Amino acid sequence: MTRKRCIGAAVAALAACALALTGNATQANAGQTDTGRSDDAAFEVAVGSAAVPKHAVTGYWQNFNNGATVQKLADVQSDYDIIAVAFADATGSPGEVKFNLDSAGLGGYTVDQFKADIKAKQADGKSVILSVGGEKGTVSVNDAASATAFADSVYAQMQEYGFDGVDIDLENGLNSTYMSQALKSLAQKAPGLVITMAPQTIDMQSTSNEYFKTALNIKDILTVVNMQYYNSGSMLGCDGKVYSQGTVDFLTGLACIQLEGGLAPSQVGLGTPASSRAAGGGYAEPSVVNAALDCLAKGTNCGSFKPSKTYPDIRGAMTWSTNWDATAGSSWSKTVGPHVHGLP
């Protein structure tokens, strides 16, 4: 992402990590798809109005202007099933977050318009969630107090705006014990919420990594992990071989680590830039994304790496961002969206 840092991968140093995976781990149940919306007047959060589709497309919507097409939420392309609003801001209290709409940067977009657009997207069967983190995010959840503050403040934003859940995109590290605690607490407050994660490639090379441990800790409530398959340089696949970003093998070989490391196929998505301008490196043509999805779901259109089995329930794909997608004529969503929705 263009508000995300680029990481150079030291491939040799990662070899032990990739080979440390426990293969053929028992897969978890599918991600959260509760269809019951809470209407209790005492708790104004309304989540789970529509189940996340079996095969879903996630897109990040930019609450800022960085040269990509400025969109109101209503402008987000219809192929996106989960819209992650980027980003919540850290406050002065550890763990606490707050969403601040950049009305001026978005051409006078008002809070009332934004809230109305969230409801309209939800009425169309979409999930709108709040993303926490990004390249410049400074949210820290490192103890019980900050875990409580995180859960309470995210819940407060859900009450205020009507968000359906939260996306964890912390790129400066996280503590699996306390982030897991925070997310489980949040799920108790708002049953049926959508929880997504967007770790960097290095964060998911081994089940011993804090991000991977968090995903496994909350797999009973986790919707999908849309790893960022970009801004990383070459990385190791689950077979211990080195693959270059932007290729089918990079997408399938790295997805295999998660698929064989304990996540359910429905909890794995492929995150790629919407255009070559959307990231520092790792752009994959939409046709490459589709080929990788075919390889994982059906065993067809693979590159040199072919998984030992297929994963027809793989969740789908993610992109940074809906704005960069619009800048490129929505070619990513127009190509990848129908393909995802047409998976078996």
Q: Which two tokens stand for residue 67?
A: 């040269």
How do strand 235-236 and strand 165-170 relate by DSSP bridges?
unpaired
Coil, helix or strand at residue 18: helix
Please return the burial class of 302, using the count of CB atoms within 10 Å of its CB with bins 0-12, 13-18 and 19+.
middle
Dihedral pair phi/psi, residue 73, rounded to 5°: -60, -35
Q: Which two tokens stand for residue 85?
A: 């609003």
Nearest to 282 by CA among 67, 79, 9, 55: 9
Residue bearing tokens 């990594």: 209
Annotation says 171 is catalytic: yes
Coil, helix or strand at residue 195: strand
Q: Which helix (H) or strand (E) holds 165?
A: strand 165-170
Distance CA 116, CA 15 (A): 49
Which residue in 96, 135, 160, 171 is the catalytic one? 171
Distance CA 267, CA 146 (A): 26
Q: Output Rg (C-alpha) for the chain, integer angstroms.
A: 18
Residue 132, CA distances (Å) to 26, 43, 189, 233, 297 in order: 29, 22, 18, 24, 30
List the catalytic residues.
171
